[in-house]
Amino acid sequence: MITCTKELKSSYLKDIIRQIKLKNNFEPEFIQAVEEVLSSLEPVILEHEEEFKASALLERLVEPERIISFRVPWVDDKGQVQVNRGYRVQFNGSIGPYKGGLRFHPSVNQSIMKFLGFEQIFKNALTGLPIGGGKGGSDFDPKGKSDMEVMKFCQSFMNELQKHIGQDTDVPAGDIGVGAREIGYLFGQYRKIRNTFEAGVLTGKGLEYGGSLVRKEATGYGLMYFMKEMLKANNIDIKNKTVIISGSGNVAIYACEKAQQMGANVVAMSDSSGCIYDKDGIKNNIIKNIKEVNRGRIKDYLHDVPTAQYYENNSNIPPVYNIKADIILPCATQNDITIDTAKLLVKNGCMAIGEGANMPCSNEAIEYFLGNNILLAPGKAANAGGVATSALEMCQNSMRYFWSFDEVDKKLENTMINIFNQCKNASEKYGYKNNYVAGANIAAFMKVSNAMKEQGII
């Protein structure tokens, strides 16, 4: 359970949360992410309170090792100069090179970068692979831009970013607004500036130049491997369950694909404009064509499937969540599910939530789901398949070798089963029943805090 700060027993923890709120007053997403993690760690903190206090462990954990912010000037197709702001948050490198995606979206700011970087520390620890936590991006909006404009922006962004990354230092990948096209332009510019083919500096690369099979599918597939395992542990079969998915980007499309392969019935998907409902089951190849090829809107689905319905986004509850389903997969963005949406979903009889996105549920919504015995697969565990496969891409780059699709997919599946077991075991050990949110936080924290402890006060 996320414990309300007022109910915390640890004075050290209460003090830290108070300090974080004061110090990061204008960073609501970051405060939300930190509060969610720290409050669920209380049983562990109480066991080691004096030791953690003496080494200021929590104070160091919540302070990024480094934040880089920079100007990104570029020239648009009309010849006008545009200026965006770029970021890289190198949050915690205690278990490996910083690793985490780049997000290009107009909403990007320091609070969002820090919350994503903070989450990434724990997610990466859960994969069991040697990767630290980082995140980056820009307030650049690729939507509506020509390929030439996207390329010019990516090149200018990399002119600065290249000073701070490297295959043993910091390895970015994609996130919202950064897919194969953007990674290609970023990698090209890095290679030109450095005059070296350092494949392991970026992941999510094209297959022709060092990318890994399954990386594109990994976050969505991994989400469903985790979901299947969580349901199995609770004696529920995923077959024939109805599923709705918020979003229709990389994570959403491959979660849909795997859910369908597992025999579930996906009936709705969305984008930031609205959602489509197809009671006969979403035709994922049509969604792929709209989003991956034409860069169009989800509404275009109706051209191919006129019997489907479209609902415009025009209230505080995104319309996709009005559709009744057993399994809900928020795969769009943070705080998509507020307390009002959570109440609606529970009233409509959902049984499980799988967070494909990062922090898609508000803390109140998480609390409500857990309080109503809804199974909740937390993002930092359930969507870790993407970064885990990125680490496998780095591994193949180091070996100058490629694994087959089935080899990578099997490693991904085993990783997700292992992550689920870590969440389950840690939650049971600390008396949280079926609370995989707390389980994920505790299992990851144990690993990161041990590494920090052994490396001294840095």
User: For binding to ligand NDP (CB under 6 A), which residues are involved?
Assistant: 174-177, 219, 247-252, 271-273, 331-333, 356-358, 383, 386
Hey, which residues does 69 pair with through a beta bridge? 87
Using the minimum distance from each CB to ligand NDP, give the nearer residue, 132 or 249: 249
Among this protein's residues, is 411 annotated catalytic?
no
Query: For residue 243, how many C-alpha atoms fall within 13 Å in the half-sphere facing its CB?
Result: 33
User: CA-to-CA distance for 359 and 337, rounded, in angstroms?
Assistant: 9
Angle formed at CA 280 by CA 215 and CA 261, multiple of 5 degrees: 30
**Least CB distance from residue 46 to ligand NDP, whole Å?**
31
**Least CB distance from residue 321 to ligand NDP, whole Å?**
12
Nearest residue to 279 (alpha-carbon basis) of 264, 268, 291, 288: 268
Using the minimum distance from each CB to ligand NDP, give the nearer residue, 45 or 268: 268
- Quote the tokens at residue 287: 């969604």
**Least CB distance from residue 106 to ligand NDP, whole Å?**
9
**Least CB distance from residue 215 to ligand NDP, whole Å?**
8
Q: State the catalytic residue, choosing from 135, 145, 205, 380.
A: 135
Count Cβ atoms within 10 A of the Cβ of residue 172 and give its class: 0-12 exposed, 13-18 middle, 19 or more buried: buried
Helices (H) and strands (E) in the chain, counts: 18, 12
**Least CB distance from residue 19 to ligand NDP, whole Å?**
27
Instruction: Tell me which residue has its CB nearest to ligand NDP.
Output: 249
Using the minimum distance from each CB to ligand NDP, give the nearer residue, 93 or 385: 385
Hey, which residues does 166 pair with through a beta bridge? 170
Provide the sign of the torsion angle of the four alpha carbons 234, 232, 359, 271, taken in this order: negative
Provide the sign of the torsion angle of the four alpha carbons 407, 409, 415, 418, taken in this order: negative
Using the minimum distance from each CB to ligand NDP, give the nearer residue, 13 or 89: 89
- Quote the tokens at residue 84: 């965006």
Using the minimum distance from each CB to ligand NDP, give the nearer residue, 15 or 292: 292
- Quote the tokens at residue 330: 């928020």
Q: Among all residues, which ones are annotated catalytic? A: 135
